[in-house]
Structure 1
Amino acid sequence: MPAAFPVPGAVVRDQHGEPLRLSELWSEGPALIVLVPAAFSTHCTAELGALAGDVDRFDDAGVQLAALSCDPVPALRAWGEDRRYPFPLLSDFWPHGAVSRAVGAFDEELGVSERLSLLVRDGRVLWDLHGDGRAPRPHSAHCQALEVLAASR
């Protein structure tokens, strides 16, 4: 049985500083939440760029994409404007790493989110992908989440 998302009521801020309750991400359908360590870093930019380039596939499946990191809102705003990501960039900056900690993906030594992707539907985690901190997650692995979603309907 899928596990419950540990902090559905947590409120984070998007790249524009607007508050967002995490449960709002999956209120109208499934959401793929992609945790990344750092804005503007090579691997994080590659991962989110691949998702942005294939956003129509996720849209067609009814999946809301969102990225989350421990970066402050101004850094996420600059990154989003620079790269024109078509999905929200969420700040887990304060309380620092609270959501990342709750999902078991906070690097205490570096103070950043670890690479973790979660497909959430109705507050339940249907699929997860733990990435290596030294390499981007392959885009094909994120696309597997759509296969899991299709099989679970």
Structure 2
Amino acid sequence: MSLSVGDRAPEFSLPDQDKQVVSLADLRGTPVLVVFYPFAFSGICTGELCQLRDELTTYTDAGVKVLAISTDPVFSLKAYKEKEGFEFPLLSDFWPHGATAQAYGVFNEKAGMALRGTFLVDAEGTIAFAEVNAPGDAREQSGWKDAVAQLGEAA
């Protein structure tokens, strides 16, 4: 069961592509867009993350930190970030395998991967937007932008 708007966002501390640990708790006071995706280098995921890269100022200009999470190891994420020029951290939920995706209710245990879950966590750590897409179902990112805009209006 995935999380819903109003739920407390589960805390996590995960290594990024450079093995630097990123903790949600350390970002308290800042809204965070948490984007789970199945696999680095896969077609739909690359399309989604490249769109996020190309439209990153929509989020950063609103003061939102973007974090992308998959169950890939850090070495794959480093190569992926370098190849695609991503300017946001790619976090590895590799071990314990998928533990953060499980906490957010977006882990596909049979496939050993995260589903396409997107969560906007407000500055206080509460889920302000939640969406989970089925495998193979690319996300429409306009909902994320609307949620960011509403977060700004509420501030």
TM-score of the alignment, normalized to the shorter chain, above 0.5: yes
Q: Deviations over 1:37-66 (max 9, x none)?
A: 000111111111111101111111000011
For residue 68 of structure 2, give the secondary structure of its aligned residue in structure 1. strand
For residue 53 of structure 2, give the secondary structure of its aligned residue in structure 1. helix
Alignment partner of 1:5 out of 3, 6, 9: 9
Alignment partner of 1:133 out of 132, 135, 153: 135
Deviation (angstroms), 1:131: 1.3
Q: Normalization by structure 1: what TM-score?
A: 0.92
Name the counterpart of 1:124.
126
Structural mapping, 1:1-153, within 5 Å: 2-6=6-10, 8=11, 10-24=12-26, 26-121=27-122, 122-153=124-155
RMSD: 1.3
Distance in 2 separating the partners of 1:143 and 1:27: 20
Q: Deviations over 1:67-103 (max 9, x none)?
A: 0000000010000000010100000000100000011
* Structure 2 letter corresponding to 1:95: P
Q: Identity percentage over the alignment?
A: 35
Q: Normalization by structure 2: what TM-score?
A: 0.91
In structure 2, stretches of 5+ residues that fail to align are none
Deviation (angstroms), 1:27: 2.5
| Number of residue pairs aligned between Structure 1 and Structure 2 | 150
| TM superposition outliers: structure 1 runs of 4+ over 6 Å | none
Distance in 2 separating the partners of 1:12 and 1:58: 21
